[in-house]
Amino acid sequence: MDAPSSLTIIFFIILTLILSAFFSGMEIAFVSSNRLKIELDKKLGLYPARIYSFFNKNQSKFISALLLGNNVALVVYGIFMADLLEDPILKWLSLIPNEGATKVLVLLIQTIISTVVILIFAEFLPKILFRINPNRKLDLFIVPVLIICGPIFFLVWLIFELIGYVLKLFNTPFEESEYALGRVDLDHYIKEAAATSSEVSEIENELQIFQNALDFSSIKARECMVPRNEIQALEFNDSIEVLSRTFIDTGYSKILIYKDSIDNVIGYVHSFELFGRPSAIKNILRPMAIIPETTTADKVLKTLIDQKKNVALVVDEYGGTSGMLTLEDIVEEIFGEIEDEHDLEESIERKLPDGGFAFSARLEIDYINESYNLNLPVSEEYETLAGLIIEENEDIPDQGDSLIVGDFEVEISKVSGNKIEEVILRPSESAN
């Protein structure tokens, strides 16, 4: 084989490898791309996003075009690679007398070498590289996409139309379902924006609201309710004077009313009702929605809206009172904490000089881990720091007790009755 011919073969091998790598990379970039970002960029009038938005609506045709282009490149690559390797391999196998065995070995060696090269340079490497920031890769290669993939896409579109026409003849309609943006796309966009933004502080609240909205349907009523031991309630037969004094002493605007026991709540009273100078509690009693503690937050919100109520009684599996929920508590799960009468007691959360932390036991584990970059154990069995301590200790500890929880030594600094008020967390010696 003369030199020019060899150089031509090598040129086509390199060209087809580049094309195959391009098709493989673009396929993984397109599949891994943030579709929501593409649509948002399209709204901004960005040219690449307008092109890829069109491909999103015809994604099966676009992916088919990429696969078709990749297959053609591989076929051409295989032909030239076999031609390039044939003579060297034959010279190496010249000592084998059997011509049939030689042909089999030549084919086998050609296949192995060609496959290894194509796997490394046209499959693994491009897919790894294009998977990193795929949206950026799509923007960078918009021109090659239009030049190379455009004609192939048109050919694939014609093939799809022909197939659709043939299927219609057999009364089998062929319709391509249009891609619809969903929760996964929004979640992907939020995480990507949080990871790549250089001004995290400016968008942190907005991203957190989006994330809270995504997680809203998985939050249970028991996770956002006012617990039973913090509920202020009066007996049905108590006087208006007692009710008025309770409103003044607690600062609350809503007081639950029960008969005989807190497990038999029959409604609530709003402080505004006292301006009407009622003669008895029964005259100003308001009904409440009743929901199981396992009900998700989105269903609680729907229940309150449908029943036109803003207070709900949360009950356990036995029908006993587990806590109470207001419309405000539900809204807080999306938009964050809203100051109200239940938040008058300031939560303690501060870092100590010795490297430890002082926390109110009612603080949620997720909040502590996120705010202070701690790694406290998380479980479905509890939500608060107090719940974690009781779960680990299997009992309510006494004031001054210490226990090991995860990588921390927990000191119970304040207990009132059967309620843990404040704790101190210090890194345990084993963690150090």
Could you give phi then psi for residue 324, rounded to 5 degrees?
-140, 155
SS3 content of the chain, % helix, strand, coil (to 5): 60, 15, 25
| Percentage of the chain exceeding pLDDT 90 | 16
What's the confidence (pLDDT) of residue 220? Answer: 83
Q: Is 300 left (phi over 0), alpha (psi -120 to 50) or beta?
A: alpha
Q: Which helix (H) or strand (E) holds 151?
A: helix 150-169
3-state secondary structure (DSSP) of residue 280: coil
* Residue 53, CA distances (Å) to 134, 142, 154, 168 in order: 15, 12, 16, 28
pLDDT at 20 over 90: yes
Nearest to 289, CA basis, from 318, 259, 262, 268: 268
pLDDT at 210 over 90: no
Do the beta carbons of residue 47 and residue 163 sit within 8 Å? Answer: no
Separation of alpha carbons 188 and 133, rounded Å: 12
CATH of domain 221-343: 3.10.580.10
**Structure confidence by residue, pLDDT tens digits, 371-399:** 888 888 888 777 788 888 888 877 778 88
What's the confidence (pLDDT) of residue 247? Answer: 84
Report the first-to-last Cα separation within the chain, whole angstroms. Answer: 70
Domain boundaries, the chain: 3-169, 183-218, 221-343, 349-427
What's the confidence (pLDDT) of residue 384? Answer: 83
Nearest to 256, CA basis, from 309, 248, 246: 246
- The residues, any chain, with a CB within 8 Å of residue 34's CB and separated by 6 or more, are 134, 135, 185, 188, 189, 192
Sheet of 408-416: strand order equals 349-351, 357-360, 419-427, 408-416, 402-405
Separation of alpha carbons 355 and 70, rounded Å: 58
What's the confidence (pLDDT) of residue 383? Answer: 78
3-state secondary structure (DSSP) of residue 289: strand
Nearest to 256, CA basis, from 240, 267, 243, 270: 267
> Model confidence at 24, in pLDDT bands (50, 70, 90)?
very high
> Model confidence at 200, in pLDDT bands (50, 70, 90)?
very low
| Percentage of the chain exceeding pLDDT 70 | 82
Please give the mean pLDDT across all residues of the chain. Answer: 81
Separation of alpha carbons 328 and 71, rounded Å: 58
**Structure confidence by residue, pLDDT tens digits, 31-79:** 888 777 787 778 888 888 888 888 888 888 899 999 999 999 999 999 8
Q: Is 339 left (phi over 0), alpha (psi -120 to 50) or beta?
A: beta
Poorest-pLDDT segment among 3-17, 112-126, 245-259, 265-279: 3-17
Q: Which helix (H) or strand (E) holds 325?
A: strand 321-326
**Structure confidence by residue, pLDDT tens digits, 325-373:** 888 888 777 666 555 554 445 568 888 888 888 888 888 888 888 888 8
Of the CATH numbers 2.60.120.590, 3.40.710.10, 3.30.465.10, 3.20.130.10, which one belongs to the domain with range 349-427?
3.30.465.10
pLDDT at 431 over 60: no
Separation of alpha carbons 360 and 62, rounded Å: 56
**Structure confidence by residue, pLDDT tens digits, 231-277:** 888 998 888 898 888 888 887 888 899 998 888 999 999 888 888 88
Poorest-pLDDT segment among 6-10, 281-285, 394-398: 394-398
CA 368 to chain CA centroid, Å, is 20
